[in-house]
Amino acid sequence: MPSAPQHDPAAATGPGGDGGLGADLGWTLGVAYRAYVKMAADAAAAVPGSHRGRQVLAAAAHEVPGTQRALAQRLGVDRTAMTYLIDDLAAAGLVERRPDPADRRNRQVVATDAGRRALEGVDRRLRTAEEYLLAGLDTADRTALRTLLRRLAAYIDSADPVGDACQAVDDIEAAESAAMRGQPPAPG
Amino acid sequence: MPSAPQHDPAAATGPGGDGGLGADLGWTLGVAYRAYVKMAADAAAAVPGSHRGRQVLAAAAHEVPGTQRALAQRLGVDRTAMTYLIDDLAAAGLVERRPDPADRRNRQVVATDAGRRALEGVDRRLRTAEEYLLAGLDTADRTALRTLLRRLAAYIDSADPVGDACQAVDDIEAAESAAMRGQPPAPG
DNA sequence: TATTGTTATACTCTATAACTATA
DNA sequence: TATAGTTATAGAGTATAACAATA
């Protein structure tokens, strides 16, 4: 668990430095994410389940198969939703469920040849579309952003700092609550 | 409209360079966004509407008031959802709807004093929580990521490159469809 | 008993359509 | 007629709970 990071002094008014949305991390992430999803849904129209179906297919094609539950967790969906996603991909002939010989409760999800071909086509579209999305940044900045996001996601995925953050928030609340008890509550 | 950006030669296997999810822009963005939302929902528990309520409140407090519809578009929600969000914020006494003297169809959403105080507390928690979320990056990288995301979001918000990206995808499809007509369709 | 995957169900969120008022 | 906002309704997406199979 990391020690409490120091605050950026420039972030005095709001989380982003000034109060507006333009520098708000949540807003910038949301804009980027929504734009990506919209664009990826278009590029992945050939695959059931939209951009999430493509991610499942990419995992089935390129990653060592684990449990459906682990994949669901990595993709941020419920395990029941993962079942439906894989159902649709399997019905389209893009992936197969194979029994895990080591633990027969598990189903390994692997891409079929048709799945790999479909993924190739979708990824070709996606690579082009991504560059359009990032066209406001020059080449170096595009690479830097991809690298930073990759590192951040790897950290979040492995260390789960959300729990730390929520704990820190709780600590603040406890501290403010204690300070509040020491002095009369503000009117209003 | 930007000219077609060149592709990164390293991105030969998948959108991210290798086929795995770890370098996939969609996956990294999704992980970061979901983690942020989860953490921000916790930090903004005092405000109705969770992290989106906070964004509306931040806009009401710090940005020049526009129409509800414009705000909804900036935040990526439907205008009807924006009505409900503002309803809840107003019921909690955090924002007020004021008639626009220039055009009486519009409602200007402005933060009340209580709203500004609540926002202050929430943003204090949020600043701390954000640093935990980004704790896997050093100070320079955290700043760089914030800057790049801010520039990217500003570009997406102003230039709307999603339309360009979808158009590019359509062009690829048209080209591949034409090529397909020139040769016999692949079996299977 | 605990866990994986599936199914059935309920719920939340979001989008669609219709309405009022202003322009 | 067109637009901003609201309301009512329907739909998609999601989570919850119960189940079977396996460990």
What are the structure tokens assigned to A107, written together?
């189903």
Q: How would residue A186 be classed by pLDDT, with cut points 50, 70 and 90?
A: low
pLDDT of residue B8: 41
Per the prediction, chain A carries an average pLDDT of 90
Question: Is it the case that residue A157 has pLDDT exceeding 90?
Answer: yes
Interface touch B58/A21, C-beta < 8 Å: yes
Q: How would residue B20 be classed by pLDDT, with cut points 50, 70 and 90?
A: confident
Strand D bases near protein CB (under 7 Å) are 3-8, 13-17, 21-23
Beta-strand relationship, A107-111 and A95-99: antiparallel
- pLDDT (mean) for A76-92: 97
Helix residue ranges, H only, B15-106 = 25-43, 50-62, 68-75, 79-91
Residue with tokens 């729990």: A163
- Interface membership of A51 toward B (CB under 8 Å): yes
Paired strand residues for A108: A98
C-alpha to C-alpha distance for B157 and A23, rounded to whole angstroms? 13
Interface touch B136/A128, C-beta < 8 Å: no
Q: How would residue B2 be classed by pLDDT, with cut points 50, 70 and 90?
A: very low
Quick one: which H or E segment has residue A141?
helix A139-159
- Asked if residues B175 and A125 have their Cβ atoms less than 8 Å apart, the reply is no
- Interface membership of A138 toward B (CB under 8 Å): no
Identity of the residue numbered B2: P
pLDDT of residue A13: 58
Residue with tokens 């770890």: B22
B1 Cα distance to chain centroid: 21
Q: How would residue B157 be classed by pLDDT, with cut points 50, 70 and 90?
A: very high
* Å separating the CA of residue B105 from the C1' of nucleotide C20: 11
Interface touch A176/B121, C-beta < 8 Å: yes
Question: Is it the case that residue A6 has pLDDT exceeding 60?
Answer: no
pLDDT of residue A35: 97
Per the prediction, chain B carries an average pLDDT of 90
Give the 3-state secondary structure percentages of chain A, helix then strand then coil, rounded to 5. 65, 5, 30
C-alpha to C-alpha distance for A87 and A80, rounded to whole angstroms? 11
Q: Which of A113, A123, A103 is nearest to A43 (CA)?
A: A123
Question: Is it the case that residue A5 has pLDDT exceeding 80?
Answer: no
Interface touch B35/A74, C-beta < 8 Å: no
C-alpha to C-alpha distance for A9 and A156, rounded to whole angstroms? 24
* Predicted confidence (pLDDT) per residue in A108-138, tens digit: 999 999 999 999 999 999 999 999 999 999 9
- pLDDT (mean) for B104-129: 96
pLDDT of residue B13: 59
Q: Using CB atoms, which residue from A22, A43, A127 is nearest to B7? A: A127
- pLDDT (mean) for B147-175: 94
C-alpha to C-alpha distance for B17 and B145, rounded to whole angstroms? 20
* Predicted confidence (pLDDT) per residue in A11-37, tens digit: 445 676 676 899 999 999 999 999 999
pLDDT of residue B11: 40
Give ∠ CA A4-A157-A43 in degrees, rounded to 5: 130
